[in-house]
Structure 1
Amino acid sequence: ALPPLPARLLALLGLHPGPDVTALVVAAMAQVRVGDAQRALDALTAANLLSVNEPGRYGAHDLVRVYMRTLAAELPAAGRHEATGRMLDYYLHCADLADGRLPVTRGSSVRVAPEHVPVEVPKLTGSAEAIAWLDAEQGNIIAAAELAAAPGSDPKWLVHAWQLPYTLSRFLWMRADRATWLRTTEAALEAATTLGDPEARFVMLFNLGIALAQFQRMDESLARHREALEVARASGDVNAQARALTTVADMLQFLGRVDESEASYREALEVSRAAGSRWAEANAHHNLGLLHLASRRYDEAKAWLRAAVTMYREVGEQCGESTCHTDLAMVLLESGEGAEAVTSARTALSVASAAASPYHQAMAHDRLATVFDRQGLPGAVAHWQRALALFTELGAPESDQVRARLARARATTSV
């Protein structure tokens, strides 16, 4: 027979919806010290009830999972509810901590305040550790959100059902995991709507609009962003209005409605300044720069983009700064400033590397290759190879375009 604590934890593990566990989440569920949870997990492993998937992470075979769920069903209802709530709170608190360490500025200021803050949490001192933790826990976070939204769950867990995907959204964007992002955001919007929380509904409408755009579903994206703008105006949130006006303008520009797009960008800029949101102001400058690039007004485009770079740097938005340098490199290339274009593209790559964002690194490599190729300089093939490798690893649709550019370059040069 198992000792008391391992036996108790085996039953509690039947409540956990994800693929694996750590001593930290088990300690939170059982309200025991992490060291005690660790020793109990090791005892269950020694009894061949758990297996070590990788150091510090424990899983179970399907038959054992069925057995654990049977044991969990025999626990008192109050105990099941308490342990499940603490598990949801653990993932929400830790995912929020990790999200706050990412090199992507939070456009919204959602208050994440779980009822039970775990006593012991993973050490997440920087972006690299945060990304590694989110990589490892992504499946558990999504499973926890789905459990929170499931029929029959405590209605107060609807907050977890939308906030867990919210805390994961920037990570999924950085990883270019578009399918997962879209699926989790749609579920989160449903939870936010059921909850009747205007702030939650705005955030998830906004995120859904961005996710839809990644699939080139621009008309649907525009509709979601306009819904978000209506919610923001109804609540009087000027910062949210600025964000929604910017993304409405983005979609209008893509759809070729340039005059409407510019008007929306300029309104976003005015609202951003009124709200005192430097991030939103940077975003508006960036997008006005792109609008001027598209209309070949290069001097104006450079001015807007350079201002945006400065603002992104001020607020620590490394991914935005990298993207802006990538766009500025194209403006400089088009205006005949080849050396400056190389410098800007290299800066984009440096900033993306510092941000530990493979997607933005791939974008910078692609732009560097274009800058080299257009000027007949060596190195284009190597940068397109690197961009293709990164985009392919991420499963990003940009890989097809880069593959075609690489093939053309290889046909004309051996460099």
Structure 2
Amino acid sequence: MNVTFAVLGDIEIRHRGGSTDAGHHRQRCVLAAMLADVNRTVSTEQLIDRVWADRPPQRARRTLAAYACRLRPLLIDTGASILGGHHGYRLVTEPLSIDAHLFADLVRQARRQNRDRQALQLFDQALELWQGEPYQGANTPWFNPIREALLRDRVQAERDRTDVALRLDQHTVLLPGLGAAADRHPLDERLAGQLMLALYRDGRQADALQHYDRVRHRLSDELGTDPSAELRTLFQRMLAADPDLLPRLPVISAHADTPVPRQLPPPPAHLVGRDRDLAELTAIAERETGSVRIAALGGPGGSGKTWLALRWAHDHLDRFPDGQLYVNLRGFGPDNDPMTPDSALQVFFDALGVPTDQIPCTLDGRSALARSLLAGRRMLVLLDNAADAAQVRPLLPSTPGCLVLITSRSAMSGLAIEDGATEIRVSLLTDVQSRELLEGRIGPDRLAAEPDAVGELIRYCAGLPLALAVLASRAAARPDHDLRVLADALADQRLRLNVLDAGDPATTVRAVFSWSYQVLPHDAARLFRLLGLHPGPSFDLYAAASLLAGSTCRSQTLLTELVRAHLVEELAPGVYRMHDLLRAYAMELAGEFDATEHHTAISRLLDHYLFTGHAADQLICPMWEAIGLALPEPGTASRPLADFEEAMSWFLEQHSTLLAMVRLAEAERFHAHAWRLPWIMSTYLGRRAHWHVQRVIQQIALTAAGVLGDTMAQAASHYQLGHTYTMQRAYRSGQPHLNRANDLYHRMGDLTGQAATCVALAMSAYRQGHYGQAENLANQGLVLFRARGKNRWGGQCLMLLGWIHAQDGQHELSLSYSESALKLLLQLPLSEAQAQTMRCLGFVHAKQGDLPLAASYYTRAALVFEMLGDSYNRASVLQELGDVHAQDGDQQAAHAAFTASEQLFARLARPESGQVREKLAVLENHQPRLAVLRRLPDVRNQLA
């Protein structure tokens, strides 16, 4: 019978497989007080005493009536009702709909049953009703004796069940529970006798006798008594080796015509890229161990776990002369209906020819029988598509002659910890391996004919063997079609999974992914869908928490579930990524969100990157004023950054993701984010010389600022875009933007903005060799900075004036400006201006012939650029330092500087690396020093 009311644990109302919230704590106590006297009227005074004891509320009758009124509608679907009113209440229902009554009834039936197997089933049904301490939360004195009586009944039922299980020779499976119970109840003599008998029948006679001795001493020490006559008699029978105490195991004999089981499905036709995994499986099989060897192959759906297991199994059949057992546990599939361990064991028993009447009725009994049947045999057990460790554990043999291969999308860390399993993560294929798979299925000629299309196919499949196999199948079915057709169809990420639809759920990528998704808990599934809104290649814990609008602790828990399900990969602590095709699937699922939820989730995500990026920008360039930000969307989590190094590392990690966020802000029309995100990235991008990227995103920023009609945003975007064009030597394109920025700052009365724009205009003029114009603009900027009360910021202008006069040949004047600039700039946080001033001083001293002093300034400038993470300018300065050392005749120091410079330029993919390699070649060929200096760079184009 179905339980409607639960009191053996939390007090609950259940119906149709679910539960209904029974309300406030006191309201549940009212329900429990009526259930204790079901179908009998309980007076109002009795109920008040049961629920509140000696602390009733002032209007207890009215409160009780309110609780009864609230409970009535909750019982509509249960068939129960509450009758009565002012003088008392009666809950009318079938008594066996209450779990405590059903428990008592099942126990009575079990004790009357004369067939042990049926009795054991009844005891199990009764004990499974218990969910915790009875009447949980009902803590008034009236409930205490009822609770204690129920607990005593449970203990007696457990002891009776143990007697039945011992008669059925289930001593092995009983031992762990009996040992734990004996530790909790060391003076329970009946329990002691049961444990002794289980130990004795398990072949541990010495342990059984030692346990008797421990109980005897404890009874004497604590109670001053001897063991009971029954326990003493059992002890004497064990000493006498009474054969009646031994188990009476059934003799399992397979039918004579039962063949050696060979249940493995066919091996894959073409397996590539798994040599390392195959070798590891062989090493596990050859491992000397006293217990069963277990290998758990894990990975996302479609990664080729089953193919790998079958290939190895078929290649090593001779290791397992007693047969191979195989079962698809259906842990993940279209029906979302995993096979139970009972059913899986039945597959084994059928293969081994075990008569039905000799198969135990309980899972523990069946599991023990399977271990007995496999003991001493050399067999392979392949448990394919497992749901989790709990499904697998009852199927494991215990003999060292057996090997168990498990494939699952769930992590099997529990098996690794408790059962000694070796976990093998089945990785994705490399590009070379992916090409080999395609070549094996559609032939090398078609691949050679369309190398570009093949490269795109491999990139879109991102190493997932199932996706590659589906594409190969489609290509093989249409030998007259170009591979370019498939590549073009895959180009649109929104349609990619449609192309990978094989028409068979077992081999369709979307369906295979869905099986993992469908078994996720609700919150983990929601997070997976939310991650479909994230456009970047990777994300961190704080981005996930922002999407979820939850705590980082909760998000960590859910991400761990996704990692275990192989739907997300953890690259480093707190940093994650999704396979491209899984991301495409998550994007499809994200379409389930309504417009409001979609909008707020995107807002939180963008705010996460904006506010974290704003903090990072302030850490790497603290001297400039921060842009204003509105309050973040509620639920946004910003990543804490402690210092410059953490901030610079964050930019390095998130570079590609930040660019994707700018595109997302543009596409979703979050215009405020679309201009602010490029602004906070500008310092980082400049230090990495990513001027092309800077130009693209600043154009997006300018468009967004125009849509907003925000004058300050437009001025800032014009400034950034104009400066970027200057650094790309596109002066004609940059000049209008800088002029427009200057006009807008002037209109707003923003002296700091005007000053900064003057410096940018001066830089543009300087780099074009217009030194007079550059000098005038730099002086204007200096005046504006001083008018704004930012005298120290004027160091930027003084630095630029130093460079202008250095190029103009006025070295003494250049030194004067540069030294004044350095004095001011050293009072500010570390900045590019400090390094550029040192660089200018190095340049001038080199021109004056003081090469050691020049090398000193260049070395200091390179160090500051390194500390700022400015690889481009550091590479440039190291090249100039190498020139100075070469001119001074220090070939070794020059070689070291040039080598470091060339490596940095090469890392940045800059053309300057070729120039430096030429200088290294000159040094290594012992050419005259002047040959090196002929290729001195034009420092006007290095100044940033």
TM-score, scaled relative to structure 1 = 0.92
2:765 pairs, out of 234, 252, 261, with 252
CA deviations on 1:360-413 (whole Å, 9 max, x unpaired) are 332331222122122223311210111111121122343343333333333335
Q: Does 1:388 align with 2:906?
A: no
Residues 148 and 158 in structure 1, CA contact (< 8 A), matched pair in contact too: yes
Following superposition, the deviation at residue 108 of structure 1 comes to: 4.6
**Out of 916, 923, 926, which is 1:409 matched to?**
923
Equivalent position SS for 2:570? strand
> What residue identity is the alignment partner of 2:698?
T
Partner of 1:330: 843
- What SS does the aligned partner of 2:701 have? helix
Q: Supply the distance in 2 between the matched residues of 1:205 and 1:101 (Cα, whole angstroms).
A: 24
Q: Which amino acid aligns with 1:256?
A: G
Q: Which amino acid aligns with 2:563?
A: T
In the alignment, does 2:749 pair up with 1:236? yes
**Judging changes above 3 Å, is the alpha-carbon distance between structure 1 residues 315 and 214 closer, same or farther for their aligned structure 2 residues?**
same
The answer on 1:368 being equivalent to 2:881 is yes
Task: Give the whole-Å Cα distance in 1 for the aligned partners of 2:810 and 2:845.
Answer: 11
Asked if 1 retains the 8 angstrom alpha-carbon contact of 2:771 and 2:808, the reply is no
Equivalent residue for 2:811? 298
Q: Letter of the aligned partner of 2:576 in structure 1?
A: Y
Instruction: Give the C-alpha shift of residue 176 in structure 1.
Output: 1.8
**2:734 aligned residue:** 221
Q: Distance in 2 between matches of 1:304 and 1:16?
A: 49
2:664 to 147, 151, 164: 147
Q: Does 1:125 align with 2:637?
A: no
Residue 105 of structure 1: how far off its partner (Å): 4.4
How far, CA to CA, are the matches of 2:851 and 2:635 in structure 1? 54
State the alpha-carbon separation in 2 of the partners of residues 370 and 113 from structure 1: 50
Aligned AA (1:346): T
CA distance in 2, matches of 1:319, 1:245: 18
Letter in 2 for 1:95: G
1:25 deviates by 1.1
Q: Percent identity?
A: 26
CA contact (8 A) 1:373 1:380 kept: yes
Aligned to 1:65: 583
Corresponding residue for 1:350? 863
Question: How far does the alpha carbon of each residue in 1:11-61 deviate from its partner, in whole angstroms, 9 at most, with x for none?
Answer: 111211211222211111212111211121121222222223444322222
How many angstroms apart in 2 are the aligned matches of 1:27 and 1:109? 26
Q: Which amino acid aligns with 2:734?
A: S
Alignment match of 1:166 (pick from 650, 668, 679):
679
- Quote the Cα distance in structure 1 between the aligned partners of 2:759 and 2:740: 13
Secondary structure, counterpart of 1:168 in structure 2: helix
Structure 1 230/407 Cα, relative in aligned 2: closer, same or farther at 3 Å?
farther
Residue of structure 2 equivalent to 1:269: 782
**Does the C-alpha gap of structure 1 residues 120 and 78 become closer, same or farther in structure 2, counting only changes over 3 Å?**
closer
Q: Give how far 1:132 is off.
A: 1.0
String of CA shifts for 1:86-123, please: whole Å, max 9, x gaps.
11111111011111111x34545311334337665333
Counterpart check, 1:319 vs 2:832: yes
Instruction: Please give the secondary structure, in 1, of the residue aligned with 2:539.
Output: coil
SS of equivalent residue, structure 1 residue 52: strand
Tell me the amino acid that sits aligned with residue 130 of structure 1.
A
| Maintained 8 Å contact 1:92/1:114 | no
**2 CA distance for matches of 1:113 and 1:405?**
52
Q: Is the 8 A contact 1:93 1:114 kept in 2?
A: no
Cα 1:194–1:406 change in 2 (3 A) is: farther
Provide the rounded CA distance (Å) in 2 between the counterparts of 1:325 and 1:397.
25
Partner Cα separation in structure 1 for residue 928 and residue 529 of structure 2: 62
Counterpart contact for 2:609–2:638, Cα < 8 Å: no
Q: SS at the partner of 1:256?
A: coil
What does residue 113 of structure 1 align with? 630
Q: Does 1:286 align with 2:771?
A: no
Q: Aligned letter for 2:858?
A: A
Give 3-state SS (helix, strand or coil) of 2:904's partner.
Answer: helix
Query: Could you say which structure has the higher strand fraction?
Result: 2
CA distance in 2, matches of 1:171, 1:117: 28
SS of residue in 2 equivalent to 1:190: helix
**d(CA) in 2 for partners of 1:2, 1:88:** 27
CA separation in 2, counterparts of 1:117 and 1:347? 46
| Aligned partner of residue 6 in structure 1, secondary structure | helix
Distance 1:105-1:279 versus aligned 2 partners, 3 A rule: farther
One-letter identity of the residue aligned with 1:410:
E
Counterpart Cα distance in 2 of 1:114 and 1:397 = 43
Q: Residues 327, 227 of structure 1: CA spacing in aligned structure 2 closer, same or farther, 3 A cutoff?
A: same
1:295–1:414 CA distance, 2 compared to 1 (3 A)? closer
Q: Deviations over 1:111-170 (max 9, x none)?
A: 1334337665333111111111111112222212211111xx35xx21100111111111
Task: Sort the Cα spacing of 1:31 and 1:129 in 2 relative to 1 into closer, same or farther, 3 A.
Answer: same
Gaps of 5+ in 2: 1-518, 930-944
Change (3 A) 1:397 1:114: farther
Conserved 8 A contact 2:608-2:637: no
**In 2 relative to 1, CA 73–168 (structure 1 residues): closer, same or farther, beyond 3 Å?**
same
Q: What do the CA deviations read for 1:248-288 (whole angstroms, capped 9, x no partner)?
A: 12222222333222211211111111112245411110111
| Aligned match for 1:31, one of 540, 546, 549 | 549
1:202: Cα distance to partner?
Answer: 1.6
Higher relative contact order (CA 8 A, sep 6+): 1
Q: Which residue of 2 aligns with 1:179?
A: 692
Deviates more, 1:207-216 or 1:322-331: 207-216
The change in CA–CA distance for 1:358 and 1:73 in structure 2 (over 3 A counts) is: same
- CA distance in 2 between partners of 1:109 and 1:120 (Å): 20
Q: Distance in 2 between matches of 1:9 and 1:234?
A: 47
Kindly provide the amino acid, as one letter, of the partner of residue 646 in structure 2.
Answer: E
Matched residue SS, 2:925? helix
Amino acid in the other structure paired with 2:842: A
Contact 2:600 2:633 in 1 (8 A): no
Partner in structure 2 of residue 199 of structure 1: 712
Deviation at 1:62, TM superposition (A): 3.2
Taking a change above 3 Å as real, the CA distance of residues 188 and 400 of structure 1, as seen in their structure-2 partners, is: farther
- C-alpha contact 1:90 1:118 (8 A) present in aligned 2: no
In the superposition, relative to structure 1, how do residues 414 and 24 fare at CA in structure 2: closer, same or farther (>3 Å)? farther
- The number of equivalent residue pairs is 410
Matches of 1:194 and 1:233 in 2, distance apart? 21
Q: Read off the aligned partner of 2:649 and give its amino acid letter.
A: A
**Does structure 1 conserve the Cα–Cα contact (< 8 Å) formed by 2:613 and 2:680?**
yes
* Structure 2 residue 538 is the aligned partner of structure 1 residue 20: yes
Correspondence for 1:80 among 594, 598, 602: 598
Which has the higher Rg, Structure 1 or Structure 2?
2
